[in-house]
Amino acid sequence: MEYRHSKWLSREILGFAALPAGFLIAAFEPSLCSSASAQISLGVVGASLLVLLICGYLYVSRYRIKLAPDGISITGLSRTRSIPFSTIVHVVTIKAPRSGTDSWLLDKDDTIIAKIDGGLLGFDELMASLGERLSPYQVILYRRTYGMWEMQVAGDKKWVPSECPRSVAKAVARQSVILIVGLILLTASALLAHWVSAPH
């Protein structure tokens, strides 16, 4: 079975593209924005947001996952990866109100093999099917909803308190840093463009 994002999500991203498009129109239309500094600022912000939305649209429209008898295939922006079930040792799932849901597949060295986007239609069904196909009692499942991590050995039903693999904790922290830095750079570029074009 194939799992992918909702088509409505792609349409919503395209709808949001109207915002940066409006910024760009205002930047290149003197009758809408007479100040040169404002035009440059709107142009920088509009172009940055437009590139971000285009990348998001391409990612959402192409991303899909298939379960095969012997492994899982993940299609991203540029390629499709096939991952044998025999290489998966840990499955880490994080459900957080602010950051959404994601899962990571790890090998025996706790190295991240792949990330599974929690926004897929049928994500819970996918994770249940994945757990059934992995080697019983040889794969450890981790999860966290709010605070404490829990661990379950595949094949059991009981979850117990545990710490997740350090590689996933670092990956989650890195995602937060990238998001914050991206917002700071976007704001800084707009402010810099306004300052450079303003009369001194």
Q: Residue with structure tokens 């649209």?
A: 57
Q: Which two tokens stand for residue 154?
A: 């595949």
State the DSSP string of 34-77: --HHHHHHHHHHHHHHHHHHHHHHHHHHH-EEEE-SSEEEEE-S
Q: Residue with structure tokens 């999500």?
A: 9
For the whole prediction, is pTM greater than 0.75?
A: no
Strand pairing class (140-144; 90-96): parallel
Per-residue pLDDT of the chain (200 residues; tens, 9 = 90+): 889 988 888 888 878 877 777 766 666 666 655 566 666 666 777 777 888 888 888 888 899 999 988 899 999 888 899 999 999 988 888 776 555 688 889 898 888 899 898 888 888 888 888 888 887 766 788 887 777 788 888 777 788 888 878 887 787 777 777 778 777 877 776 666 666 555 55
Domain ranges for the chain, please list them: 2-62, 86-164, 166-199
Q: 169, 193, 155, 144: which is closest to 40 by C-alpha?
A: 193
